């Protein structure tokens, strides 16, 4: 985590909050992600709460992108936290407090309850995909093209597969082909990390969307693939229903399976990188996410001949951690 702000910064921050109409009574640090951003839940004198995000200098541009993407998504009817006050030059953003739980925190709830949230999230993914391409491009995030999709898989190759001797030349070539085929479809706007840990349930079957500063162009099924294959894995009947509604037909299914294969393998590399940096909490997700990869890889022409062989070769990595 980044260092706490200096005393003069805290004084300036208090004055900024007061100017924004937020009379601070209490501040509690929140458990952050692995980025250098820091978060605090603030309570005002009248009892209302808000979340303060503090962006260190090296990620100030992410603050600006979050503010711009908030406007884009809100205008399209995608629920996102309201920005209550922002000063990206100093790295301060005060946003609406949507609560302490994400959809991932409801992992012990039955799927008859979770399914409603996933259905709403899938509808929101369609709204994201319908955003004006030119406006999304203006955010400046690089598109999820063939080069970036392939580069994302370099992390799992280096940190997980190669050290364990789990990557044959045939599989390596098939992964390159997967990225090439996935990038061949005309790109659409996508959230980039549209998953349970970035969705906040409202208790009534609807979700709001967090962490959307990386909004960019990417494969059409990428957000749906992220939603259905990260952290919470829905039962097959729900996955099939949402897929059929969003991408009917064989071509749509193929696009989805390719996106899910790339996304799940990329996620395992991310979990391994987090653990190497001292954040091991995602290690239990590696085995089930690898299994999701093998399933989806076996559904595409470039992966089908190799999926069973990889399942045998990767048997030790598929054991729960």
Per-residue model confidence as pLDDT tens digits over 254-268? 999 999 999 999 999
**Residue 321 domain flag:** no
pLDDT of residue 3: 42
Could you tell me which residue, 5 or 122, shows the higher pLDDT?
Answer: 122
Mean pLDDT of 123-139: 97
8 pLDDT higher than 60: no
pLDDT greater than 50 at residue 286: yes
Q: Tens digit of pLDDT for each residue in 215-259?
A: 999 999 999 999 999 999 999 999 999 999 999 999 999 999 999
Q: What is the dihedral of CA 74, 75, 78, 82, to 10 degrees?
A: 10
Note whether residue 130 is domain-resident: yes
CATH number (domain holding residue 302): 3.90.1200.10
Q: Which of 96, 121, 139 is the last residue of a domain?
A: 96
Q: What is the DSSP string of 210-278?
A: ---TT-EEE-TTHHHHHHHSBSB---HHHHHHHHHHHS-SHHHHHHHHHHHHHHHHHHHHHHHHHHHTT
- The answer to whether position 203 is within a domain reads yes
Question: Would you say residue 253 lies in a domain?
Answer: yes
Nearest to 114, CA basis, from 51, 189, 205, 188: 205
pLDDT for residue 137 is more than 70: yes
- Domain count along the chain: 2
Final residue of a structural domain among 96, 130, 146: 96
For residue 246, give the nearest of 227, 266, 268 by alpha carbon.
227
Say yes or no to pLDDT of 4 above 60: no
Residues 192 and 292 in one domain: yes
pLDDT beyond 80 at 1: no
- Say whether both 297 and 261 belong to one domain: yes
Q: DSSP string spanning 101-170?
A: --GGGGTTS-HHHHHHHHHHHHHHHHHHHTS-HHHHHTT-PPP--HHHHHHHTHHHIIIIIGGGT---HH
Residue 319: pLDDT band by 50, 70, 90 thresholds? Answer: confident
* Residue-level pLDDT at 33: 62
Q: What is the pLDDT of residue 131?
A: 98
Which residues lie closer than 8 Å to 69 by C-beta, 6 or more apart?
139, 212, 213, 215
| Residue 124 and residue 178 share a domain | yes
Same-domain pairing of 14 and 64: yes
Q: How many residues does the chain have?
A: 321
Q: Do 137 and 23 belong together in one domain?
A: no
Helix, coil or strand: residue 172:
helix
Cβ proximity of 224 and 125 under 8 Å: yes
Report yes or no on 320 lying in a domain: no
Q: Does 2 reside within a domain? A: no
Residue 34: pLDDT over 70: no
The answer to the question of residue 19 being in a domain is: yes
Owning domain of residue 202: 103-313
51 and 117 in a single domain? The answer is: no
Model pLDDT for residues 149-206, shown as the tens digit of each residue:
999 999 999 989 988 888 899 999 999 999 999 999 999 999 999 999 999 999 999 9
Output DSSP code: residue 99: -
Token pair listed for 170: 């045939």
pTM of the model: 0.93
Q: Print the SS3 string covering 161-201.
A: HHHHCCCCHHHHHHHHHHHHHHCCCCCEEECCCCCHHHEEE
pLDDT for residue 2:
40
Q: Do the Cβ atoms of 281 and 312 come closer than 8 Å?
A: no
Q: Are residues 85 and 125 in the same domain?
A: no
Question: What is residue 245's predicted lDDT score, i.e. its pLDDT?
Answer: 97
pLDDT of residue 255: 97
Residues 40 and 166 in one domain: no
Which pLDDT tens digit goes with each residue over 65-117?
999 999 999 999 999 999 999 999 999 999 999 999 999 999 999 999 999 99
Verify that 285 and 194 share a domain, yes or no.
Answer: yes
Residue that terminates a domain, selected from 43, 64, 96: 96
């Amino acid at each position: 985590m980044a260092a706490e702000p200096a005393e003069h910064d805290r004084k300036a921050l208090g004055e900024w909050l007061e100017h924004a109409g937020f009379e601070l009574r209490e501040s509690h640090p929140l458990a952050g992600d692995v980025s250098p951003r820091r978060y605090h839940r603030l309570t005002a004198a009248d009892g209302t709460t808000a979340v303060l995000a503090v962006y260190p200098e090296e990620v100030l541009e992410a603050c600006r992108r979050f503010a711009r993407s908030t406007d884009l998504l809100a205008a399209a009817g995608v629920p996102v936290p309201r920005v209550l006050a922002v000063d990206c030059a100093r790295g301060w953003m005060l946003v609406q407090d949507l609560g302490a739980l994400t959809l991932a925190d409801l992992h012990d709830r039955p799927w008859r309850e979770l399914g409603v949230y996933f259905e709403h999230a899938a509808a929101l993914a369609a709204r994201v995909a319908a955003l004006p391409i030119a406006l999304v491009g203006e955010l400046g995030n690089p598109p999820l093209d063939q080069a970036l999709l392939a580069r994302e898989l370099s992390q799992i190759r280096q940190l997980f597969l190669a050290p364990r001797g789990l990557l044959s030349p045939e599989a390596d070539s098939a992964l390159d082909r997967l990225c090439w085929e996935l990038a061949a479809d005309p790109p659409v706007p996508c959230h980039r990390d549209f998953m349970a840990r970035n969705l906040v349930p409202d208790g009534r079957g609807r979700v709001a969307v967090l962490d959307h500063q990386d909004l960019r162009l990417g494969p059409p099924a990428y957000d749906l693939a992220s939603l259905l294959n990260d952290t919470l894995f829905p039962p097959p009947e729900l996955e099939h229903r949402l897929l059929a509604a969003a991408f009917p037909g064989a071509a749509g299914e193929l696009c989805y399976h390719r996106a899910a294969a790339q996304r799940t393998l990329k996620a395992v590399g991310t979990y391994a990188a987090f653990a190497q940096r001292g954040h091991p909490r995602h290690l239990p997700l590696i085995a089930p996410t690898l299994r999701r990869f093998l399933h989806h890889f076996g559904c595409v022409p470039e992966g089908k001949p190799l999926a069973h062989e990889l399942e045998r070769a990767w048997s030790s990595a598929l054991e729960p951690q």
